[in-house]
Amino acid sequence: MSEPAEGGGHIANWVSLLAQALGGHETLAGRLLHQYEDLVFAAIIAGFICLMAWLAGRRFQQIPRGLQNFVETIVEGLNAFVEGIIGPEGRRFTPFIGTLFLYIWFMNLAGLLIPGFKSPTASLNTTIGLAICVFVYVQTIALRSFGLKGYILHMMNSPDSLMMVLIGLLMLPIELLGEIIKPSSLALRLAFNITGEDTFLAEAVRMGVWGVPLQLLSMGLGLILGTTQALVFSTLTAVFIGMKLHHGEETHTPTHKEVES
């Protein structure tokens, strides 16, 4: 943890050092590396997760051993986690929520545990991208659960009179805005927490030898914070999905007229 800290509250990483070696902002290569630094680290971590999944499944065994056994244990744990929030039907959403958790977790911890790396989740560009994925996924589930007409009526709070229809039309933009704000708040929380963690660590590094105790403290807190933030993001995503599924079931509940007929 003796690497020099760079400006902006982050520790220098190999991408920023490479960009400086290529001429910094004076050259196209340097500017591109600076601009897409977080994307480079995010892509590397995504590639690592894909590689581990491929290695674990390329020689499938009925009695798992080694990496396959380790990965299957993680998958079963994620299944139990998602089902505990959504219910038995939640297993089909484990691939999305589980991948989201692992991806965010690895990105959070990369800057702490891997020398020369940076946590991509310290950038709003990364976390807003994740929020967009969550928004699109949740709304797609809602459309499949309600149908287009049911989805619109749900966003209008299921009006049952002309007056309520007018009120629902006024409320529709607010409801849509609320659907956007939910994942966006997760993105802001995640980015600001990881940025604060990185800033604290960078300041401890600037202190040199005197800052070593603070570096160790920062790393310990960072491990807890990074894990917690990944859990919060994935847990609330599962809650958003569960709400759409449960509302979908409610919209298909027979009315009194349907029961009488």
pLDDT digits (tens, 9 = 90+) for 209-222: 777 888 888 888 88
Q: How confident is the model at residue 44 (pLDDT cuts 50, 70, 90)?
A: very high
Query: CA–CA separation, 162 vs 157, rounded Å?
Result: 13
For the chain, domain boundaries? 5-48+100-251
Query: CA–CA separation, 140 vs 124, rounded Å?
Result: 24
In the beta sheet, which residues pair with residue 10? Answer: 6
What's the pTM? 0.84
Amino acid in position 235 = T
Q: Which residue has the higher pLDDT, 13 or 136?
A: 136
Q: In this model, does residue 3 exceed pLDDT 90?
A: no
Q: How confident is the model at residue 230 (pLDDT cuts 50, 70, 90)?
A: very high
Query: CA–CA separation, 168 vs 159, rounded Å?
Result: 7
What angle do helix axes 148-155 and 212-251 make, rounded to 10 degrees? 110
Q: In this model, does residue 249 exceed pLDDT 70?
A: no
For 138-159, write each residue's pLDDT tens digit: 999 989 888 888 888 777 776 6
Q: What average pLDDT does range 58-79 have in this prediction?
A: 85
CB-based contact 38:120 (threshold 8 Å): yes
Q: What average pLDDT does range 18-27 have in this prediction?
A: 85
How much of the chain exceeds pLDDT 90, in percent? 41
Q: Is 118 helix (H, G, I), strand (E, B) or coil?
A: coil
For 157-212, write each residue's pLDDT tens digit: 766 777 777 777 777 888 888 899 999 999 999 999 998 888 888 888 788 777 78
Q: In this model, does residue 128 exceed pLDDT 90?
A: yes
How much of the chain exceeds pLDDT 70, in percent? 89
Sign of CA dihedral 136, 138, 140, 143: negative
What angle do helix axes 14-21 and 28-35 make, rounded to 10 degrees? 160
Query: CA–CA separation, 206 vs 229, rounded Å?
Result: 26
Query: CA–CA separation, 207 vs 221, rounded Å?
Result: 18
Query: CA–CA separation, 164 vs 39, rounded Å?
Result: 46
CB-based contact 201:215 (threshold 8 Å): yes
Query: CA–CA separation, 115 vs 37, rounded Å?
Result: 15
Sorted by sequence, the CB contacts under 8 Å of residue 94 that are 6+ apart come out as: 75, 78, 79, 82
For 62-72, write each residue's pLDDT tens digit: 777 788 888 88
CB-based contact 229:189 (threshold 8 Å): yes
Q: Give the lowest-confidence range in 7-16, 40-49, 119-128, 190-199.
A: 7-16
Q: What average pLDDT does range 225-229 have in this prediction?
A: 94
Q: In this model, does residue 116 exceed pLDDT 80?
A: yes
Q: How confident is the model at residue 256 (pLDDT cuts 50, 70, 90)?
A: very low
User: Which residue is associated with the tokens 């990364």?
Assistant: 126
